[in-house]
Structure 1
Amino acid sequence: MKGLDAHLVVRRGSFTLDLELAVAPGEVVALLGPNGAGKSTALRALAGLVPSSGGHVRVDGADLRPLPPERRGIGMVFQDYLLFPHLSALENVAFGPRSQGAGRREARRRAAAWLERVGLADRASERPRALSGGQAQRVALARALAVEPRLLLLDEPLSALDAHTRLTIRAALRRHLAGFEGAAVLVTHDPLDAMVLSDRLVVVEDGRLVQQGPPAEVARRPRTDYVARLVGLNLYRGRASGGTVTLHESAFALDSIEALEGEVFLAFAPSAVALYRTRPDGSPRNVWRAAVSAIERQGDRVRVQLDGSGITAAADVTPGAVAELQLAEGSEVWAAVKAAETHAYPA
């Protein structure tokens, strides 16, 4: 099999990572999950930096598990880049080819070519302390790619950057990944990085795969609370019958085009939730009474957390609505969601 074919088994105390992972040549897979889910452990197991308890790691059919990290031929970009402080940018990038047996002149030639590709030819003689965060990230990427790896691993490659630099470097990284012919695995906590940089998301919780698929599909049909929060949706599990979904004490009406039966997920966006001081009249078919448990400003909107009738939900409203409805923690309100704003799919 071309690309990456891995079954990662790592046991550490009471925690066990058991993850099957396949990545095709030219594909970028993002590993997502809450803290402690096993994402970085998976990446380090692929690199041979943590011992495996079983499974296999094959790249283009070659078994890498018996090999030490330096012989696996893997390119890796660490969260803190880990550039050699005493070497110039050129020498940092040349280190990989040199370790593979290339002569000094050939290694420097390849390093210069990669610095040119990442737009840093004019900083070749600079040491890491003289580089900005974005420049250091690009040197680390060039160093990883200079060994011509068939597998590229990236551990939170943008987390050390400020917001403005992150925007620019994210776009540049996407271009470089698009031109990479091997398999690439990215670990990130940022859903935007994952959505922009990857072709497929693999969501890990408690050391196990819980959901995978193209970013748009995962965002549209989350299957765990973590994924729902990540993509900004309210998510519930219930039973569909006759055009409604029963959730604990409440029943939600579905759009008339949805004909589902049995166990389903029900999702709707916080922006679809309307709040009222009194029970609303008119078109909303899904109405419930709730108490405000928290209020948080998010940009030009306000996120209101609701709890009531067995339903915990988030609602996004304007600051004007907060004032008009006199919202505060403990306030009693009515919440409503139109049937057309709900989305149900098989569990």
Structure 2
Amino acid sequence: MTGPEAWGAVARALDARLVVRLGGFALDLALAVRPGEVVALLGPNGAGKTTALRALAGLQPLHGGWIRLGGVLLDDPAGRVLVPPQRRPVGVVFQDYLLFPRLTALDNVAFGPRSRGMPRRQARDEAAGWLERVGLGGYARRRPRELSGGQAQRVALARALAVRPDLLLLDEPLAALDARTRLETRAHLRQHLLAHVGVALLVTHDPLDAMVLADRLVVIEDGAVVQSGDAATVTTRPRTDYVARLVGLNLYRGRADGNTVTLAGGFTLTAGRSQRGEVFVAFPPSAVALVRDRPDGGPRNTWPVTVAEIAPNGDRLRVELTGPVRAAADVTAAGAAHLGLHPGQRLWAVLTASETAAYPAGESGRDTGSGQPAGSGQPAG
């Protein structure tokens, strides 16, 4: 039997600690991923995401730690073990796909099995099965220049899966696509990742890609994990400025005494839930209302602000505010017109306590100590 149907059902877990030193940069990343699980690595440029994928693929040797897939050591500097890339059960989809321009889609997909010793005819049969699976059975004779961006991405995915990898690595697989193609291709990719019995690791800058495609998010900054968890936890309880910007939340750190949280500089916010000790406080820009005059007897979270910047944000306007603390607010076009909104304008910000989430700062991950919001990022989605 050939083609995807022959893919063995025995899956292997990933257990790795990736220690890589490149000039002044150091990556130290521990990863444990279950069979069938999809993990997304997120982080700013230079955080170490692609370095981690290159190490797992065997393109970047470790300086410390190990890579173990299904109990088999692939890299262990201390034990002088280094399995070369071509011998690892790993499939890779690169950001620019790297399809061979002179080969047809069929032969591009067959390349992996052929490079691992499979006879030519069997490899082409295998490739044909994978092209059918990704919906491109009728495109076997086309070359990369004759494919759309979404079709090229699916050929690259089929090529990676054709080697029946225990570990599938995807480096920004949707970054090269336009918005419309990205939406359709994301749905196709989700289907194939659900069917993948091995471990899948996805690098992306897009929080929507991560939340749609991954079971778990791992956020990396400066070569280290700062937060990890399911999408709901990470997006509602950010622990660094980068994560807060990524999901579009205002984030502060302070000390809680019941429902009152005191931030750096003595500014206080009233949160919806009682807490004690060091906490993070987060709320969405959409929860901040802007008014001309200070409300009489209104919500306890009311403070004077100055409009610093106004920018489009979907069907609303994102307003950056200065004052006792920096913050971001989202207003409708009608609301902006009613206020006569302009930079330098002085207003009042109003935030209800029920929209303000406070949670302990002592959880896993590297805490931010800035005491400043990360409200200038774009909201997820």
Normalised by the shorter chain, which TM-score bucket?
A: over 0.9
What residue in structure 1 maps to residue 323 of structure 2?
308
> Gaps (5+ residues) in structure 2?
1-10, 76-81, 362-381
Select which of 34, 51, 70 maps to 1:60: 70
Q: Which deviations, in whole Å up to 9, do the C-alpha atoms of 1:287-342 show, x marking residues without a partner?
A: 11111111001121000001111x11110001122222222112111111001111
Letter in 2 for 1:329: P
**CA distance in structure 2 between the aligned counterparts of 1:254 and 1:295, rounded to whole angstroms:** 27
**CA distance in structure 1 between the aligned counterparts of 2:300 and 2:321, rounded to whole angstroms:** 18
Q: Which deviations, in whole Å up to 9, do the C-alpha atoms of 1:179-209 show, x marking residues without a partner?
A: 0000000000000000000000000000000
Letter in 2 for 1:91: D
Select which of 235, 248, 251 maps to 1:235: 251
Q: Which deviations, in whole Å up to 9, do the C-alpha atoms of 1:70-95 show, x marking residues without a partner?
A: 11120000000000111100000001
**CA distance in structure 1 between the aligned counterparts of 2:221 and 2:314, rounded to whole angstroms:** 29
What residue in structure 2 maps to residue 193 of structure 1?
209
RMSD: 1.1
Letter in 2 for 1:251: T
The alignment status of 1:90 with 2:100, answered yes or no, reads no
- What is the CA distance between 1:103 and its match in structure 2? 0.6
- What is the CA distance between 1:285 and its match in structure 2? 1.3
What residue in structure 2 maps to residue 277 of structure 1?
292
The alignment status of 1:132 with 2:142, answered yes or no, reads no
> Gaps (5+ residues) in structure 1?
none
The alignment status of 1:254 with 2:271, answered yes or no, reads yes
- What is the CA distance between 1:58 and its match in structure 2? 0.9
What residue in structure 2 maps to residue 11 of structure 1?
21
What residue in structure 2 maps to residue 48 of structure 1?
58
Query: For 1:331-342, what aligned pairs fall within 5 Å after superposition?
Result: 331-342=345-356
**CA distance in structure 2 between the aligned counterparts of 1:301 and 1:123, rounded to whole angstroms:** 42
Q: Calculate the TM-score normalised by the size of structure 2.
A: 0.89
**CA distance in structure 2 between the aligned counterparts of 1:192 and 1:32, rounded to whole angstroms:** 11
The alignment status of 1:173 with 2:189, answered yes or no, reads yes
The alignment status of 1:24 with 2:41, answered yes or no, reads no
**CA distance in structure 1 between the aligned counterparts of 2:216 and 2:48, rounded to whole angstroms:** 18
**1:254 alignment partner, SS class:** strand
**2:158 alignment partner, SS class:** helix
Contact persistence 2:238–2:244 (CA under 8 A): yes
What residue in structure 2 maps to residue 244 of structure 1?
260
Letter in 1 for 2:296: D
Deviates most, 285-294 or 153-162:
285-294
**1:263 alignment partner, SS class:** strand
- What is the CA distance between 1:102 and its match in structure 2? 0.7
Q: Which deviations, in whole Å up to 9, do the C-alpha atoms of 1:210-242 show, x marking residues without a partner?
A: 000001111111111111111111111000003
**CA distance in structure 1 between the aligned counterparts of 2:121 and 2:298, rounded to whole angstroms:** 74
**CA distance in structure 1 between the aligned counterparts of 2:247 and 2:211, rounded to whole angstroms:** 10
What residue in structure 1 maps to residue 379 of structure 2?
none
Contact persistence 2:12–2:166 (CA under 8 A): no
The alignment status of 1:323 with 2:323, answered yes or no, reads no
- What is the CA distance between 1:277 and its match in structure 2? 1.4
Contact persistence 1:305–1:312 (CA under 8 A): yes
**2:310 alignment partner, SS class:** strand
- What is the CA distance between 1:259 and its match in structure 2? 2.3
Q: Percent identity?
A: 66
